[in-house]
Structure 1
Amino acid sequence: MTYDFDEIIDRTNTDSFKWDKYKDRDIIPLWVADMDFKSAPPIINALENVAKSGVYGYWHTPDELIEVVIKRLENRHHWKIQKEWIVWLPGMVPGLTLSCLVVGNDGDEVMTTVPVYGPFMRAPLATRKNLVKVPLQLVNNRWTFDFDAIRAAITPRTKVFMLCNPYNPAGTVFTKEELQTLSDICIEHNIVICADEIHCDLILDETKKHISIATLNKKIENQSITLLSPSKTFNIAGLGCSFAVIPNDEIRSKFAAIRSIIQPEVSAFAYQAALAAYRDSEEWHQQLLVYLRKNHDFILQEMNTFKGFKMQPLEATYLAWIDTRESEIENVAKIIEDAGVAISEGGMSFDGKGFIRLNFGTQMRRLEAAIWRMRKVLF
């Protein structure tokens, strides 16, 4: 079956967080990370079936979904997990917060690299931890770790390293060697790695392969919390279904106990959508990747034509990370918004001052229209 990713879906006046932020304004929103494509038909059918039941009470996790996840991690990540290791969550961000909460004591340190997705910086502070930020470095047109800086920033109070892989917003898929070095550092200092791998099924560079850091060795597996979800890949983020894989019994027990009293249960809609995504929607997923790769190549070419703009090729995600510092334009995001295109400003959102993030997970016609508008104010 061929899916039509060019179909324009009118999301205005639907209470869409992405679109109705600019209600009654002629704005093409390329900011928050959800896509403008219809989800796969099996997902839509699954949601319709739940709706038709007419009863929307509490659900436990479907046994088949657990089995599908276990098989998926073994086949795609080469990771054999036990079903007891899985803790279901109403979203990935709650998993970040819980990870900071259950590891270490008040005043201990959580380290992450920057620029990074905003909740990586907010979750430690919300859980009474001290945030330690280490900048990424650009090496051979690719954003990666500065291991010397990471080592230098570690203190006896560093308890958690928050890893984003694939990386939001820089688009990096970290290599086995990079992950092994990070793993060695964390094992040496007894640091737990909380790995957000929510974009692991959105690999654009076909020469790259996602590796879950927990698969490197048993020591780091036992010092890891891995966060996963079908939400970004299958465009079902609004339904709220994620999960943590936590092999360490002590960490998992604390994590699950607190989750049960401060977060809502996952809904029937979310569970059934996740099952349909993972079990029945792989053909849709593969066609999505083909479409996103074309969008990526278009945006990469266009962004690098604007004076003072630099975009490196992404290895994963549908979120372009664009360096605008050499343009010497103040308030780039505001100027682009005034031209009719909304993007994310890098400084406030990601601790990446002078950068912007552009979501190209939309129809090509919208991207072409957005570039036309941007050309009116950028040269």
Structure 2
Amino acid sequence: MSGSGQFDFDKEVDRTTSCSDKWDKYKGTDILPMWVADSDFQSPPAVIDALQERVAHGVFGYTHASNTLTDIFVKRMAERYNWHIEPEWIVYLSGLVCGLNIAARALSEEGQTIISPSPIYPPFISSAKFAERPLVKAPVVLRKGRWLPDLDEAEKQLKAKGGLLQMCNPLNPGGTVYRKEELEETLAFAEKHDLLVCSDEIHCDLILDGDLKHIPFASVNERAAQRSVTLMAPSKTFNIAGLGASIAIIPNPNIRARFNKVKRGIVPGVNVLAFTAAEAAYQHGEAWLQEQLCYLAGHRDLLMREINALPYLKLEHIEATYLAWIDCSELPVDNPHRFFEEAGVGLSPGLDFGNRKFVRLNFGCTRKTLEEALRRMKAAVARLD
């Protein structure tokens, strides 16, 4: 909980007048918006200060990343993950979703398969559709209380070698943090089937268990690096998603050239305020991040206790992210999303991810909001008895 720290995560910020996608969805209703993955926390003060200073400059022409931002990011990868990257590996993007779509087109050829976990964050599935590539789903299953894609099941569906394997680490939804041996198994699968790998690691900074560490897929060994595109961003970490600054790390020069060729002339450059926010966040946001992680871990623990104390619902341990993947398969209703929405809690429907018997709850909110959402959910479930 906040209160003892430097930053106030309990602060209620009115987002109803800010053209917020999250809050405007239920505008004029008594439904708490707990769906799309942005948080309700004000960004770190250093980010706000840097933006105000840059706005005061008053000129907002075409721009590029500063050497300082690149140096900070290279240093961050080395210090946090023992991953030593080169500046020329970095491709800046105006969003992570466009990175997924570029990778789908650039890292697979016409007729080649894209393999994706399922259930998964919807842009994984749509990227294959937009690229007009056949999609093979690797069903995400429980293994000792952790959600992981079953690559053996995916293998049964493959008809030829080549194509793209999509990863999400930490997993969204599910919150699983991949262990090194799991990454090595993924690499072995990719090598066996001659697959390139796009790893979405946008939630890598939001590890809630202190004994776990994020391991980038490309850092496992040189073989992994040379067949991979890694996507990262400060957006979820520091709640600056609306500014649009993401990073692709591509060690292999041929893959990087293919990626840039597809990107050229279609994906706009990153804007000056996004670069400003990213640099300030990475350079000065660590204390804020650590307090946020403690606050979110408290939310996670509350959710685990409250949801698993209810009949019909089940929530597995969330290792990372502020997104709870709640199993409603025993709930005696046809549409769990609509059921909770009618109770005043606006969650993400599991169908969007690939399983209609689940809902995803965004707990990147104040404790007051979370407690009210849980109160409404408990009351709704109690009315079923």
**TM-score normalised by L of structure 1:** 0.98
Separation in 2, partners of 1:130, 1:373? 41
How big is the shift at 1:152? 2.3
- Residue aligned with 1:68, SS: helix
Between the aligned residues of both structures, percent identity stands at: 42
Which stretches of structure 1, 4 residues or longer, exceed 4 Å deviation after superposition?
A: none
2:332 — aligned with what?
Answer: 328
Q: Could you give the per-residue CA deviations for residues 210-243 of structure 1, whole angstroms, max 9, x where no partner exists?
A: 1111111111110000000000010000000001
Query: Is residue 43 of structure 2 the alignment partner of residue 39 of structure 1?
Result: yes
2:231 — aligned with what?
Answer: 227
Separation in 2, partners of 1:326, 1:22? 27
Query: Is residue 335 of structure 2 the alignment partner of residue 338 of structure 1?
Result: no
How big is the shift at 1:375? 2.3
**Aligned partner (choices 143, 146, 151) of residue 147 of structure 2:** 143
How big is the shift at 1:260? 2.7
One-letter amino acid of the structure 2 residue matched with residue 99 of structure 1:
A
How many positions carry a matched residue from both structures? 378
**Aligned partner (choices 112, 115, 134) of residue 111 of structure 1:** 115
1:371 — aligned with what?
Answer: 374
1:13/1:23 contact within 8 Å kept: no
Separation in 1, partners of 2:114, 2:332? 34
How big is the shift at 1:157? 4.6
Query: Is residue 129 of structure 2 the alignment partner of residue 129 of structure 1?
Result: no
Q: Could you give the per-residue CA deviations for residues 87-112 of structure 1, whole angstroms, max 9, x where no partner exists?
A: 00000000000001112222211001
| Greater shift in the superposed pair: 353-362 or 100-109 | 100-109
How big is the shift at 1:352? 1.7
Separation in 1, partners of 2:254, 2:152? 31
Separation in 2, partners of 1:49, 1:155? 56
Q: Could you give the per-residue CA deviations for residues 147-186 of structure 1, whole angstroms, max 9, x where no partner exists?
A: 3213323332541000000000011001101110110111
Separation in 2, partners of 1:374, 1:184? 43
| Greater shift in the superposed pair: 181-190 or 59-68 | 181-190
One-letter amino acid of the structure 2 residue matched with residue 376 of structure 1:
A
**Aligned partner (choices 175, 181, 184) of residue 179 of structure 2:** 175
1:350 — aligned with what?
Answer: 353
2:312 — aligned with what?
Answer: 308
Q: Could you give the per-residue CA deviations for residues 227-280 of structure 1, whole angstroms, max 9, x where no partner exists?
A: 000000100000000010011111111211332310111011000100011110
Listed as ranges, the matches of 1:15-30 within 5 Å are 15-30=19-34
Listed as ranges, the matches of 1:185-200 within 5 Å are 185-200=189-204
Separation in 1, partners of 2:210, 2:135? 35
1:166/1:316 contact within 8 Å kept: yes
- Residue aligned with 1:58, SS: coil
1:198/1:227 contact within 8 Å kept: yes
How big is the shift at 1:41? 0.4
2:52 — aligned with what?
Answer: 48
1:117/1:168 contact within 8 Å kept: yes
2:168 — aligned with what?
Answer: 164
Separation in 1, partners of 2:158, 2:211? 33
Q: Could you give the per-residue CA deviations for residues 354-377 of structure 1, whole angstroms, max 9, x where no partner exists?
A: 000000010000111111222221
**Aligned partner (choices 66, 83, 86) of residue 70 of structure 2:** 66
- Residue aligned with 2:303, SS: helix
Listed as ranges, the matches of 1:251-262 within 5 Å are 251-262=255-266
Unmatched segments (≥5 aa) in structure 1: none
Unmatched segments (≥5 aa) in structure 2: none
One-letter amino acid of the structure 2 residue matched with residue 365 of structure 1:
K
1:337/1:343 contact within 8 Å kept: yes
1:7 — aligned with what?
Answer: 11
Q: Could you give the per-residue CA deviations for residues 182-209 of structure 1, whole angstroms, max 9, x where no partner exists?
A: 1011112221010000000000112211
Separation in 2, partners of 1:358, 1:19? 14
One-letter amino acid of the structure 1 residue matched with residue 68 of structure 2:
E
Separation in 2, partners of 1:98, 1:68? 25
